[in-house]
């Protein structure tokens, strides 16, 4: 029956991140620096709110867009943090994770043959959905631009078929964010054109050396903002995403969301409500700890003479492979076999990630030290 499977589904693959992680899982005495999974527990008061929701029998469907209290809290959160203004009744949708928010946004705005401009390297969760919509991903090579996705680079790739530009900042896998000036230049380029911006800001609370700015503040009517609780509040398994869009667009996205999942999980919504109100600053101590880890990892990598850009957001390093004779997959596999360390090959983040590997520092300092010790020992032995 394989010949009856949708060809577009057959043409996409499992995420390279998960593929490599699954391949090396179970390897004895291995240090994994692969997954972008916060190692902090979900805050206790958030878990208690979920328990209370269960005790209160808050276990039925909510409004398709999410419980209005949560939408109000979400609107208040982005207003307080990023000076964004959205009507909770018509411009906020609570989704089953940021992944679903990305999916329903693309399915609403893309047609057959539409082009979507993305930075390359880039998180692998966008391209398969774009292709499933019959649209075409167009990558702009940022690897030679210190991973900065600038207006100048974007302009080179705009065509009459361009429907959307993806701004995933702070970035997975590079950890790079964009300055207000860079966003202003992009906004000036796109303003008034028939082009949407999909701003994936899931790491917006994890930024270290500057203030997070959203392009939605500059280009509200053309922007869909994606956010959520997974990274900021260590709530990956709760599956709560947040989508913000102008009312005339949000009403159509809501239709896709309704037929996709009906509504996000009710108990998780009450946990999210607690996180966005009483826990509005829960990310701060996590961010402070991530900053210490980032600085430690960066210093170690520099001492190893690694070619790396210091990340100012998220919790990743995207590092040039020191051996040009190896592909990123071969290098990552060699680290597993020779050093007992798992990293993610750069090719998982599009062809523009080839020649690099990604390290996540969302691990304890002890794990990071041991992992880097092993990598250094392997590299020293090769010289």
Task: Give residue limits of the domains in the chain.
Answer: 2-42+282-382, 44-276
pLDDT on residue 218: 98
Spatial distance between the Cα atoms of 237 and 37, rounded to a whole number of angstroms: 10
Residue with tokens 């983040």: 349
pLDDT confidence band for 323 (50 / 70 / 90): confident
pLDDT on residue 9: 84
Cβ atoms of 294 and 95 within 8 Å: the answer is no
pLDDT on residue 25: 72
pLDDT on residue 270: 98
Q: What is the mean pLDDT of residues 71-81?
A: 98
pLDDT on residue 3: 85
Cβ atoms of 357 and 321 within 8 Å: the answer is yes
Cβ atoms of 371 and 33 within 8 Å: the answer is yes
> Residue 114: pLDDT above 80?
yes
Q: What is the mean pLDDT of residues 121-127?
A: 96
Mean pLDDT of the chain: 95
Q: What CATH architecture is 2-42+282-382?
A: Alpha-Beta Complex (3.90)
pLDDT confidence band for 383 (50 / 70 / 90): low
pLDDT digit string, tens, across residues 156-188:
999 999 999 999 999 999 999 999 999 999 999
Cis peptide, bond prior to residue 121, ω within 30 of zero: yes
pLDDT on residue 12: 78
pLDDT on residue 27: 73
Q: What is the mean pLDDT of residues 278-294?
A: 98
> Residue 14: pLDDT above 80?
no
> Residue 15: pLDDT above 90?
no
Collapsing DSSP states into helix, strand and coil, what is residue 107? helix
Say if residue 7 is exposed, middle or buried (CB neighbours under 10 Å; 0-12, 13-18, 19+).
Answer: exposed
pLDDT confidence band for 28 (50 / 70 / 90): confident
pLDDT digit string, tens, across residues 213-229:
999 999 999 999 999 99
The secondary structure of residue 309, as a DSSP letter, is P
> Residue 120: pLDDT above 80?
yes
pLDDT digit string, tens, across residues 190-214:
999 999 999 999 999 999 989 999 9
pLDDT confidence band for 138 (50 / 70 / 90): very high
Over its C-alpha atoms, the chain yields an Rg (Å, rounded) of 21
Spatial distance between the Cα atoms of 3 and 47, rounded to a whole number of angstroms: 46
> Residue 16: pLDDT above 90?
no
Q: How many residues does the chain have?
A: 383
Cβ atoms of 194 and 111 within 8 Å: the answer is no
The secondary structure of residue 308, as a DSSP letter, is B
Torsion angle of the four alpha carbons 112, 116, 122, 127, in this order, in degrees rounded to the nearest 10: 0
CA dist list (Å): 328 to 285, 321, 372, 373: 34, 7, 18, 20
> Residue 351: pLDDT above 70?
yes
pLDDT on residue 235: 98
pTM above 0.75, yes or no: yes
Q: What is the mean pLDDT of residues 45-64?
A: 98
CA dist list (Å): 267 to 186, 263, 325: 39, 11, 51
CATH class name, domain 44-276: alpha beta
pLDDT on residue 331: 94
Question: Residue 39, Cβ neighbours under 10 Å: how many?
Answer: 17
pLDDT on residue 381: 85
pLDDT on residue 324: 85
- Higher model confidence: residue 159 or residue 23? 159
From the list 301, 229, 296, the residue with the least C-alpha distance to 268 is 229
């Amino acid at each position: 029956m394989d010949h009856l499977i949708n060809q577009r589904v057959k043409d996409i693959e499992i995420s390279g991140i998960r593929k490599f992680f699954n391949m090396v899982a179970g390897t004895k005495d291995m240090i994994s620096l692969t997954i972008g999974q916060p190692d902090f527990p979900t805050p206790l008061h958030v878990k208690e709110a979920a328990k209370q929701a269960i005790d209160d029998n808050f276990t039925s469907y909510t409004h398709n867009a999410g419980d209005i209290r949560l939408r109000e809290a979400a609107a208040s959160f982005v207003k307080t943090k990023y000076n964004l203004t959205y009507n909770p009744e018509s411009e906020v949708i609570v989704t089953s994770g940021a992944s679903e928010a990305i999916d329903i946004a693309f399915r609403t705005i893309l047609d057959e043959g539409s082009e979507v401009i993305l930075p390359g390297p880039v998180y692998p969760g966008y391209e398969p959905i774009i292709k499933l919509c019959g649209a075409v991903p167009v990558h702009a090579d940022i690897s030679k631009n210190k991973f900065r996705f600038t207006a100048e680079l974007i302009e080179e790739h705009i065509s009459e078929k361009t429907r959307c530009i993806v701004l995933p900042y702070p970035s997975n896998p590079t950890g790079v964010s964009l300055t207000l000036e860079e966003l202003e230049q992009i906004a000036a380029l796109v303003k008034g054109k028939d082009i949407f911006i999909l701003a994936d800001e899931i790491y917006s609370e994890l930024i270290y050396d500057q203030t997070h700015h959203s392009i939605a503040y500059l280009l509200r009517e053309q922007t869909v903002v994606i956010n959520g609780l997974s990274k900021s509040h260590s709530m990956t398994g709760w599956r709560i995403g947040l989508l913000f869009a102008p009312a005339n667009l949000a009403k159509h996205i809501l239709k896709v969301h309704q037929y996709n999942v009906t509504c996000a999980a009710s108990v998780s919504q009450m946990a999210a409500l607690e996180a966005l109100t009483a826990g509005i600053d829960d990310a701060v101590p996590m961010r402070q700890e991530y900053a210490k880890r980032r600085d430690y990892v960066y210093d170690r990598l520099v001492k190893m003479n690694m070619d790396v850009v210091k990340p100012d957001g998220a919790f990743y390093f995207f590092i040039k492979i020191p051996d040009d004779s190896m592909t990123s997959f071969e290098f990552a596999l060699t680290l597993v076999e020779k050093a007992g360390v798992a990293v993610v090959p750069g090719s998982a983040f599009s062809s523009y990630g080839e020649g690099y590997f990604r390290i996540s520092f969302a691990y304890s300092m002890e794990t990071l030290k041991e992992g880097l010790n092993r990598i250094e020992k392997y590299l020293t032995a090769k010289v």
